[in-house]
Amino acid sequence: MHTMWKGTISFGLVNIPVKLHSATENKDIKLRQLHKECKTPIKYERTCPNCDEEVKNEEIVKAYEYAESKFVVLDDEDLENLKKEQEDKAVEIVDFVKLEEIDPIYFEKSYFISPNEGGSKAYSLLRKALKDTGKIGIAKIIIRSKEQLAIVRIYENTLIMETIHYPDEVRDYQEVPNVPEEEELGKKELDTAKNLIEQLTTEFEPENYKDEYRTALMELIEAKKNDEEITTAKPQPTPDNVTDLMEALEKSLEKTKGNKGASKKKTQKKKATQKKTEDKEDTKKKTS
């Protein structure tokens, strides 16, 4: 499992050297975009609308737009120093709370936590303490240049860190449009809805749920592949230097063929002229 972060988690005076590993993966089927006419993959280029030209990566800088068309440019060195300063800090668990006190809307991404070298005992200590108290830890961590609020909890026999949104990142529910106020509901309708919920109530077993669209899409792709409905992109143009070389060789070959033909005609013409001259001389000799 790929390690995507190394550092230390601390609570009180206990420090745990740990590694983070992504706990989930995106299994969406990625479809390429092709040019309909020639079936060649589309190429996306970064262009500057002002200069009307393609911009290379080394010519791009980062900036913050504080007003329309007004920017503060941030150097890579500035950002790297800030990132390093924050990443060097240990991840400190600052509070312990109950998991049910956090609404699921705050949860973002999950990471498995494994102990780094020398951290097994402290790792086991935190895991056992969380299990016995039924609490989870609240911490802060820098991941991919962003400070994240996170929780540390137990998942099966493993510690897991889940990044969560800050309160100001969760939108106000009161801004959701067209949400009805409390309405008078008929008793029969409500009882029927409750009965339906009871009939569909079960224990949560994740393996019972499948991504049916992804399965159907893969079946469609396999069927088309087996029926040989396969599209092959046209060969990409060869580099200019190779093209120029081939053109030069082909032209040279044509020129050589042309020269050979001209030389052959010239030789034949020369032979014919010589024969005529010889014939004339023979005629003169016979006459005299």
Per-residue pLDDT reduced to its tens digit, 128-185: 999 999 999 999 888 776 788 999 999 999 999 999 999 999 999 999 998 888 888 8
- Per mean pLDDT, which range of 28-32, 106-110, 247-251 is the poorest? 247-251
Per residue in 201-247, pLDDT (tens digit) is 999 898 888 888 888 888 888 888 887 666 666 665 554 544 555 56
Residue 260 has pLDDT above 70, yes or no: no
- Per mean pLDDT, which range of 42-46, 80-84, 126-130, 259-263 is the poorest? 259-263
Distance set, CA 98 to CA 20, 95, 207 (Å): 23, 10, 27
pLDDT attached to residue 96: 95
**Has this prediction a pTM greater than 0.75?**
no
- For residue 59, give the DSSP letter: G
The residues, ordered by sequence, that sit 6+ positions from 65 with a Cβ below 8 Å of its Cβ are: 71
pLDDT band at 268 (very low <50, low <70, confident <90, very high): low
pLDDT attached to residue 215: 87
The residues, ordered by sequence, that sit 6+ positions from 126 with a Cβ below 8 Å of its Cβ are: 9, 11, 14, 16, 137, 152, 159
| Number of neighbouring beta carbons within 10 Å of residue 165 | 13
Per residue in 276-286, pLDDT (tens digit) is 656 656 655 55
Amino acid at 236: Q
Q: Is 146 helix (H, G, I), strand (E, B) or coil?
A: strand
pLDDT attached to residue 242: 47
Residue 186 has pLDDT above 50, yes or no: yes
Per residue in 56-113, pLDDT (tens digit) is 888 898 898 888 888 888 888 877 777 665 555 668 898 999 999 999 999 999 999 9
Own/partner long-range contacts of 146-154 (Cβ < 8 Å, ≥24 apart): 147/86, 148/108, 150/91, 151/99, 151/102, 152/9, 152/93, 152/113, 152/126, 153/99, 154/127, 154/130
